[in-house]
């Protein structure tokens, strides 16, 4: 099918690439020209603006880095909302249910359907087409794009209620955020006491403590100290804040979530929004006076 794709970053690029490889006709747009060039080289048409794309295709997908970017691209001046041909806007970004509902309402007034479709599984999942895709919106529109979304991952229909895909995604990312900081605290505890972190991670992964941080993030990006998993701390903190807001809005006070939220605020203050989120271990190491992993493989105390 003909698809417009806006936002060609860490997630958008591999998702758009897979859609091209599956035979879909893509027109792409990103504020960074270099990001567009990479896809044009693979056969995509370069769009000149969001509006131009929405004038030409019925289905527009987006993978954008902030709530404001999704709001602007969908409903701002020169946005999808002004397109002549567009019928549906599929937002693959994580923006929380309140923003999703706001965008849904604005688009609905112009007869454009929003399919809220946040994804989970990271850059690796986007490259392999193994993301979890959590779609909410009208069932008929979901059916119309289900096969195309199947190219980027396993597609789940969460419900017709606007924003419910986002609620699902925030529950998932709260767990991912928790796994990262909880595993960091567990491994730092072991290293402080003299255990080898590589052995610890192997044991955890053979035992009941296994989680996505111990299984994927520690072996790839923490133990080698490359901190290059491909998800920015700023984006993780955005998701944790959105999860806390969602809980508050539902009248819930969640103790684990609040502690996890406080820890991630320390990480963003200490490491900055652009750091990779696996750097979450660094302030925990600093407070304990140890360094985990590195070229020596084993543990060593910080000087």
* Chain residues in the site for ligand NAD (CB under 6 A): 6-12, 29-32, 35, 63-65, 69, 72-73, 93-94, 119-120, 122-123, 230-231, 235
Distance CA 100, CA 95 (A): 7
- Shortest Cβ distance from residue 266 to ligand NAD (Å)? 20
Nearer to ligand NAD, 204 or 240 (CB): 240
Nearer to ligand NAD, 131 or 200 (CB): 131
- Shortest Cβ distance from residue 212 to ligand NAD (Å)? 12
Distance CA 127, CA 137 (A): 26
φ, ψ for residue 226 (rounded to 5)? -90, -25
Annotation marks residue 77 as catalytic: no
Pairing of strands 45-46, 119-120: unpaired
Task: Enumerate residues 6+ apart whose C-beta is below 8 A from 223.
Answer: 197, 198, 201, 292, 293, 294, 297
Nearer to ligand NAD, 100 or 188 (CB): 100
- Shortest Cβ distance from residue 57 to ligand NAD (Å)? 16
Which residues, listed in sequence order, are joined to residue 46 by a DSSP beta bridge? 28
- Shortest Cβ distance from residue 282 to ligand NAD (Å)? 19
- Shortest Cβ distance from residue 13 to ligand NAD (Å)? 8
Nearer to ligand NAD, 36 or 191 (CB): 36
Nearer to ligand NAD, 53 or 112 (CB): 53
Per the residue annotation, which of 169, 217, 238, 282 is the catalytic one?
169
- Asked if 117 and 91 touch (Cβ cutoff 8 Å), the reply is yes
Q: Which residues are catalytic?
A: 169
């Amino acid at each position: 099918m003909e698809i417009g794709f806006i936002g060609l970053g860490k997630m958008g690029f591999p998702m758009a690439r897979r859609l091209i490889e599956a035979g879909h006709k893509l027109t792409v747009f990103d504020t960074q020209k270099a990001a567009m060039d990479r896809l044009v080289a693979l056969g995509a048409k370069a769009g000149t603006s969001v509006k131009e794309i929405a004038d030409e295709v019925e289905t527009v997908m987006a993978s954008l880095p902030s709530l404001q970017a999704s709001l602007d691209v969908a409903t701002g001046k020169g946005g999808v909302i002004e397109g002549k041909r567009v019928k549906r806007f599929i937002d693959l970004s994580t923006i929380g249910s309140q923003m999703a509902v706001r965008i849904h309402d604005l688009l609905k007034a112009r007869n454009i359907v929003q399919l809220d479709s946040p994804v989970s599984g990271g850059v690796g999942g986007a490259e392999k087409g193994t993301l979890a895709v959590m779609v909410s919106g009208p069932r008929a529109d979901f059916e119309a794009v289900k096969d195309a979304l199947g190219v980027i991952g396993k597609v789940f229909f969460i419900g017709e209620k606007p924003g419910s895909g986002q609620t699902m995604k925030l529950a998932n990312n709260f767990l991912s955020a928790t796994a990262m900081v909880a595993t960091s605290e567990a491994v730092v505890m072991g290293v402080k006491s003299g255990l080898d972190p590589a052995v610890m991670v192997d044991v955890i992964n053979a035992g009941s403590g296994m989680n996505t941080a111990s299984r994927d993030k520690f072996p790839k990006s923490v133990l080698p100290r490359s901190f290059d998993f491909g998800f920015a701390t700023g984006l993780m903190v955005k998701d944790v804040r959105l999860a806390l807001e969602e809980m508050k809005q539902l009248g819930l006070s969640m103790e684990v979530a609040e502690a996890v939220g406080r820890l991630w605020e320390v990480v963003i203050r200490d490491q900055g929004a652009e750091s990779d989120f696996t750097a979450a271990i660094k302030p925990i190491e600093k407070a304990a006076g140890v360094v985990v992993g590195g070229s020596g493989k084993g543990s060593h105390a910080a000087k």
